[in-house]
Amino acid sequence: MGKTVAFLYNDEFQEYDFSPTHPLKPIRLKLTYELLKDYGVFGSSQVKVIPGRLATDGELMLVHAPEYIGAVKKISETGSEPSYAYAFGIGPGDNPAFKGMHEASSLIAGCSIVAIDEVMNKKAEHAVSISGGLHHALRDKASGFCVYNDPAIAIAYATKKYDVRVAYIDIDAHHGDGVQWAFYNRADVLTISLHESGQFLFPGTGFIDEVGIGKGEGFSVNVPLEPGTYDDLYLSAFNSIVPPIVRAFKPDLIVSQNGCDTHYTDPLAELSLTTNAYEKLYAAIHNLAHEICNGRLVALGGGGYQAYQVVPRAWSLLSADLAEINLNNFVPESWQKLCSEKAHTKCPDSLRDRETAPTAFAESIEDKTAHIIVSVKQKVFPYYGLPTR
């Protein structure tokens, strides 16, 4: 079989919309799809676009409490916020109610499940679900723009239906807390999150000593990075920690969360990555999948609050990497026009960043990153029999 990639897409993604002023803008998903389409990626034999479906209540309950799902459904009917909504994390702020919230959220979870099936049933070598990656939702609570935790649901579904060991690799700027807690006491799911330290950024978790409990001890790995961490330092941390642990764990499937709020222009976080780092990270995870688990890789979206300037470019590079397609650096004019109309400002004409990110306080961040790498190795590597130096 060739390098086939299943790309999950539904026009209904636009309905996961908290409000016109909310930072999580669903237009980013449409613009990613349109950019790949204008590049001709969907006309290639390597990539097939398939629709997702709504997750069933039973699938949602692999991670979420029945009373929470019931509350989301009830709130979803009118989009109003009854007095009990806030107890479930829904209300003014990060997760305002909206009509159709349950269906929009279930579709995202269902897309991530379909992505699992595509890969596990060998219909595709890899699958991309850009609407997914909503990694903050907890068992009984919405959190951080996330109503249902599609990565956790998809992983729980994979372990139950296919009896597989799963490595979850999260490169969002924010700690993948909801996924971590869902599997914190399990040895069949390895969660690895590289993120801006919880000392500085929501959700305030993801410290090095969060390693799992009981049977799960050693299977939760956190790499909390300093604000301002730039490409070379981030890549050094990733390459020092992630491949050795994933190789030792020997997963049957890798699920990656590819939030691009790590970009140096992102308004909600303070890391300093460019698309140059993204391409290297995507390739590294892709290569690990081929090396360790016969290519089985499900790639999800995640955060990213430069909806016009960054997200479509980042996830187009992700999709192209998995399909092993080289994209011209000049962004098609048709897409530039569409994007600029939506953004009411000029959109990028270059797929990759031309400039490098600012590296203020580079020396102090360099020393701190080296210390973080050593600390993570000392804390986690012994569980895998790996050398800590």
Show which residues are catalytic.
Answer: 136
Helix (H, G, I), strand (E, B) or coil at 190: strand
The angle subtended at Cα 353 by Cα 352 and Cα 355, nearest 5°, is 150
State how far the Cα of 258 lies from the Cα of 282, in Å rounded to an integer: 8
Q: Answer for the pair 148, 134: CB distance below 8 angstroms, yes or no.
A: yes
What b/e sequence results for 141-158 when a residue is b if at least 16 CB atoms lie within 10 Å of its CB, and e otherwise?
bbbbbbbbbbbbbbbbbb
- Residues 206 and 220: their CA atoms lie apart, in Å, by 9
**At CB < 8 A and 24+ separation, what contacts does 283-289 make?**
283/321, 284/238, 284/239, 284/242, 284/243, 285/169, 285/254, 285/256, 286/126, 286/321, 286/322, 288/242, 288/243, 288/246, 288/247, 288/254, 289/126, 289/254
Contact 224, 252 (CB under 8 A): no
Task: Provide the 8-state DSSP code for 148.
Answer: S
Its sign, for the CA torsion 147, 28, 234, 243, is positive
